[in-house]
Amino acid sequence: MTHPYQSIYRSDLFQDKVVIVTGGGSGIGRCTAHELASLGAQVIIVGRKQEKLDTVVAEIIKDGGRAEAFSCDIRDEEIVRQTVKDIVSRHPVIAGLVNNAGGQFPAPLTGINQKGWETVVRTNLTGGFLMAKEVYMQSMNKHGGSIVNIVADMWGGMPGMGHSGAARAGMVNFTQTAAVEWAASGVRVNAVAPGWVATSGMDTYPPAMKPWILGLKDAIPLKRMGTEAEISSVICFLLSDGAAFVSGDCLRIDGAASQGGRVVPLPKATNSESYNGFHRAVTPKIFEDPSS
């Protein structure tokens, strides 16, 4: 059976390798899980909502791939430890971990209380640390492996989402530290920082933010939003043997939006076509043409 995902990589790139993807029930995590499965991986998706996870597992199996789901709150150390233990009991050698789970809410710094701040930091920083540490301690320290942490464009600050920006910056520093401390075990640790990507998450923001979201492409030098598949393909590269000498780095996947001065007028862009090999990708409702 030819897998319907149109990956740029060879179909056996991750044959029989076990890769964990947190936040695999939607968005970039869902897309990445599909691509990894299309390349032969045994995918383990982790998230809080079992129903969403089961839906993605069913999709992957229907498409000819292999996947399992484990419900887990990555913010709870004991739950993370037990979840990883359960996974390792079934699959002792974990080849890859994609720390994708995260979340935040828009608010100025003065509108964030301690509980809101700590919740976002626990989700976007502490949870990723706990997952990486347990996967390392229970498997990768003996067998090697690759970890990819998903962060965000927080260079120059993250106005309107300062809690998330602080957490993501912390995750980049954690990535650099872990890359050094865990290298002796044959473990590589990298990060990717997606820019503005058209995912289902765009539909979770309040209606008042719609004009701002629709205008985001004008602040991107390539003059378009990214696709989930464009993020997934870089994640897959970092997990692969082709990146065997890449560790401690963070790749920005943002159409150059984080580069240079943001006050310089951007000219109209040409010759910038998006790549979208994800056969189950769904356009966020916010970008749908109401006249169609």
Res. 290: pLDDT tops 90: no
In a domain, 284, yes or no: no
Q: For position 205, what pLDDT does the model report? A: 74
In a domain, 279, yes or no: no
In a domain, 276, yes or no: no
> Do 81 and 70 contact (CB within 8 A), yes or no?
no
* Calpha distance 83→215 (Å, rounded): 41
> Do 58 and 80 contact (CB within 8 A), yes or no?
no
Direct distance between the N- and C-terminal alpha carbons of the chain, in angstroms, rounded to an integer? 35
CATH number at residue 122: 3.40.50.720
Label residue 180 by pLDDT band (50, 70, 90).
very high
Q: Which two tokens stand for residue 128?
A: 């990723």
Tell me which of 16-20, 28-32, 262-266 is least confident: 262-266
Domain count, the chain: 1
In a domain, 274, yes or no: no
> Do 252 and 258 contact (CB within 8 A), yes or no?
yes
Q: For position 87, what pLDDT does the model report? A: 98
Reported as a single tens digit per residue, the pLDDT across 77-114 is 999 999 999 999 999 999 999 999 998 888 999 999 99
Which domain, by its residues, includes 178?
18-256
In a domain, 104, yes or no: yes
Q: For position 289, what pLDDT does the model report? A: 63
Reported as a single tens digit per residue, the pLDDT across 225-249 is 999 999 999 999 999 999 999 999 9
pTM of the model: 0.92
In a domain, 269, yes or no: no
Tell me which of 29-43, 178-192, 264-278 is least confident: 264-278
Res. 21: pLDDT tops 60: yes
Length of the chain: 292
Give, in order, the Cα–Cα distances in Å from 277 to each of 195, 228, 231. Answer: 19, 9, 11
* Calpha distance 215→28 (Å, rounded): 21
Label residue 292 by pLDDT band (50, 70, 90).
very low
* Calpha distance 268→218 (Å, rounded): 9
Reported as a single tens digit per residue, the pLDDT across 125-174 is 999 999 999 999 999 999 999 999 999 999 989 999 999 999 999 999 99
> Do 145 and 186 contact (CB within 8 A), yes or no?
yes
* Calpha distance 173→227 (Å, rounded): 26
In a domain, 36, yes or no: yes
* Calpha distance 227→194 (Å, rounded): 10
Tell me which of 59-68, 213-222, 236-245 is least confident: 213-222
> Do 133 and 144 contact (CB within 8 A), yes or no?
no
Q: Which two tokens stand for residue 92?
A: 């002792």
In a domain, 155, yes or no: yes
Strand order across the 42-47 sheet: 66-71, 42-47, 18-22, 94-99, 145-150, 187-194, 250-253
* Calpha distance 12→9 (Å, rounded): 8
Instruction: Compute the mean pLDDT over every residue in the chain, rounded to the nearest whole number.
Output: 93
